[in-house]
Amino acid sequence: MLKKLTPEEELEFLKEIHGADDYSKLFSELKDAFALLQTRAQMLLGLATICLTITGFSGPRMAQSNVYSRFLIGFGLIFVMLSVMVLAAGPLRLRWMTAWKAGDVDETLIEHLRQRNLRTRFYRVALVLLMVGLTGYLLSLIFYLFNG
């Protein structure tokens, strides 16, 4: 059975995999994790942008059609924008790994693992907020189609 590792345990596990003295591979592993988070966050940002762009064109007409569409499109847009703000505050925040150092290399790697975990939590929150927002937008569209 798999066990969720603490950052300290994860560093020890990475050392087992890559060798205890090969810090360049350990830093490379973390760099790749941050790059993956960045790529996925950009994908969510792209979805949010598409939603906001479409709303700019069709949103006013949908909002004028009935009270449900008006409420749901507003609800959806609020959550989409919250998602964008969480992405900007978390995974999309630029921070160079080599510009931050703790006491020694191990402590530095552990802090970077903590930072990766925090940004992953921000990413998950942004994903949920975006899904709620898109659901509101979709429901607004459904009410528009039924009543428009």
Question: What would the two tokens of residue 133 be?
Answer: 């927002």
Using N-to-C axis directions, what is the helix angle for 23-65 and 7-18, rounded to 10°? 130
Nearest to 40 by CA among 109, 138, 126: 126
More confident residue, 148 or 47: 47
* Continuous H helices in 66-104: 67-89
Query: 137: which residues sit within 8 A by CB, 6+ positions away?
Result: 51, 55, 72, 73, 76, 77, 80
Cα atoms in the Cβ-side hemisphere of radius 13 Å centred on 33: 19
DSSP, res 98: G
Give per-residue pLDDT as tens, 49-96.
Answer: 998 888 888 888 888 888 888 899 999 999 999 999 999 999 998 888
What is the distance between the alpha carbons of residues 100 and 109, in angstroms, rounded to a whole number? 10
More confident residue, 45 or 147: 45
> For 18-22, what is the mean pLDDT?
82
Rounded (5°) CA angle 84-135-125: 40
Segment (H or E) for 18 = helix 7-18
Region of 93 (left: φ > 0; alpha: ψ -120 to 50; beta: rest) is beta
pTM assigned to the model: 0.88
Q: Please report the pLDDT score of residue 148 as a whole number.
A: 59
